[in-house]
């Protein structure tokens, strides 16, 4: 189904197709044989990230000067969709946070010295990046952020506070941290900072055990009089809120693409199952209710992908796609969960077993309507632009 769905769209070039095949081959050879063990260990090995770096998969949108490929938004969508198809959401999000939620802050706001020092290792997968924005009591409400950064007489900064649900938080090496640098409650008094692993006063409070994405390491972070040099201010002081917003539409497109990769693969796996599984002297596929439901889910995934690809194409042209990105995040996050619910149902008892890919995929997909902006937040974003 995946090939047929995507070949009907005019946006993709031979370069996009080559990227898709490269990722699919990498997943088949270096992810699928080992990822069950990563689920048990609670992380995606850094050697796998380095292998992705060697293939150029961690620098798709970044400057060629730092080892990147400087490709377009459609390339990012291909990348996220194929990682979603891996069936291991923890592996996929480990890579996607590194490339499309954390590193873009350095790409957009970093100065020449910061980029020269950090970007080559990020693109090569030698140092893994994370973004620390969410807090225990704040969630998506940036105005309620409590982490503070105080400037000292010598120009250095002292950070105090905590961050929660940070992907790549346990084993990451480079953190892009949002903190208040001015009057409490005002978004434009947030600044971004580069905090590197091992900085005194910075620690992992605890690894977090999750419902899904088990091969992704997630942590609560603590900053206790964490002193960082003046050179580690990322971008302009008090402009961190705008830096965070700048990357939101890319994050939302990426998560939508990951969701649709997951949904498409789940339907494929379920089609394989129902055409072989027999009950009451016929295959499950012979049951009209089952094949009609799978047909409708396929149509809805096709429609969502059409919007996703068109929006990515428009973003490449420089169009304003903020509303569409919010729509896609809400639509695809909800749709992937509907797909997983029915696909698990059609697997019967086997779908509830840990040895079944669909069981893992259903757990992993649940976060897609929560993480990166809950559906309710996205719908408010859409509603603001409706009148």
Q: pLDDT per residue over 196-205, tens digit each?
A: 999 999 999 9
196 tagged catalytic: no
Strand, coil or helix: what is 161?
strand
The mean pLDDT of 130-148, rounded to a whole number, is 84
The mean pLDDT of 122-126, rounded to a whole number, is 98
Q: Chain-wide mean pLDDT for the chain?
A: 94
Q: pLDDT per residue over 62-92, tens digit each?
A: 999 999 999 999 999 999 999 999 999 999 9
- Is the pLDDT at 2 greater than 50? The verdict is no
Q: pLDDT per residue over 42-64, tens digit each?
A: 999 999 999 999 999 999 999 99
Distance CA 246, CA 67 (A): 23
Give the chain's domains with CATH numbers.
2-127 (1.10.540.10), 130-238 (2.40.110.10), 244-384 (1.20.140.10)
Catalytic residue among 251, 262, 324, 381: 251
Phi and psi angles of residue 226, each rounded to the nearest 5 degrees, phi first: -80, 110
Residue 271, burial from CB neighbour count under 10 angstroms (0-12, 13-18, 19+)? middle
- Is the pLDDT at 115 greater than 70? The verdict is yes
* pLDDT confidence of residue 166: 97
Tokens, residue 368: 């897609």
CA distances from 168 to 44, 98, 204, 306 (A): 9, 8, 11, 31
- Is the pLDDT at 16 greater than 50? The verdict is yes
The mean pLDDT of 352-367, rounded to a whole number, is 97
Distance CA 17, CA 296 (A): 27
CA distances from 242 to 195, 221, 299 (A): 19, 23, 37
**Confidence category of residue 3, pLDDT binned at 50, 70, 90:** very low
């Amino acid at each position: 189904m995946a090939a047929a769905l995507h070949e009907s769209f005019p946006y993709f070039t031979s370069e996009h197709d080559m990227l898709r095949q490269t990722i699919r081959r990498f997943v088949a050879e270096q992810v699928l044989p080992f990822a069950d063990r990563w689920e048990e260990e609670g992380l995606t090995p850094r050697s796998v990230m380095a292998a992705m770096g060697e293939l150029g998969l961690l620098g798709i949108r970044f400057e060629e000067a730092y080892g990147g490929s400087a490709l377009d938004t459609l390339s990012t969508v291909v990348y996220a969709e194929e990682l979603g198809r891996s069936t291991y959401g923890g592996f996929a999000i480990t890579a996607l946070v590194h490339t499309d939620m954390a590193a873009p802050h350095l790409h957009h706001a970093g100065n020449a010295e910061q980029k020269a020092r950090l970007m080559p290792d990020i693109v090569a997968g030698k140092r893994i990046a994370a973004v620390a924005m969410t807090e225990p009591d704040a969630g998506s409400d940036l105005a309620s952020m409590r982490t503070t950064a105080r400037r000292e007489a010598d120009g250095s900064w002292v950070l105090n506070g905590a961050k929660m649900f940070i992907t790549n938080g346990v084993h990451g090496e480079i953190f892009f941290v949002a903190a208040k640098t001015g009057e409490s409650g005002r978004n434009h008094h947030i600044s971004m900072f580069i905090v590197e692993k091992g900085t005194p006063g910075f620690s992992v409070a605890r690894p977090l055990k999750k419902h899904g994405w088990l091969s992704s390491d997630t942590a609560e972070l603590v900053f206790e009089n964490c002193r960082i040099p003046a050179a580690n201010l990322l971008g302009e002081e008090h402009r961190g809120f705008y830096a965070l917003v700048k990357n939101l539409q890319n994050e939302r497109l990426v998560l939508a693409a990951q969701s649709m990769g997951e949904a498409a693969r789940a339907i494929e796996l379920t089609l394989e199952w129902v055409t072989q599984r027999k009950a009451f002297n016929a295959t499950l596929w012979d049951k009209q209710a089952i094949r009609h439901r799978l047909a409708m889910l396929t149509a809805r995934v096709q429609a969502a992908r059409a919007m996703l690809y068109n929006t990515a194409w428009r973003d490449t042209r420089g169009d304003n796609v903020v509303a569409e990105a919010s729509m896609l995040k809400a639509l695809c996050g909800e749709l992937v969960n509907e797909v997983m619910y029915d696909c698990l149902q059609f697997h019967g008892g086997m779908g509830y077993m840990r040895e079944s890919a669909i069981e893992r995929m259903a757990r992993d997909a649940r976060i897609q309507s929560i993480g990166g902006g809950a559906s309710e937040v996205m719908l408010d974003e859409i509603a603001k632009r409706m009148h």
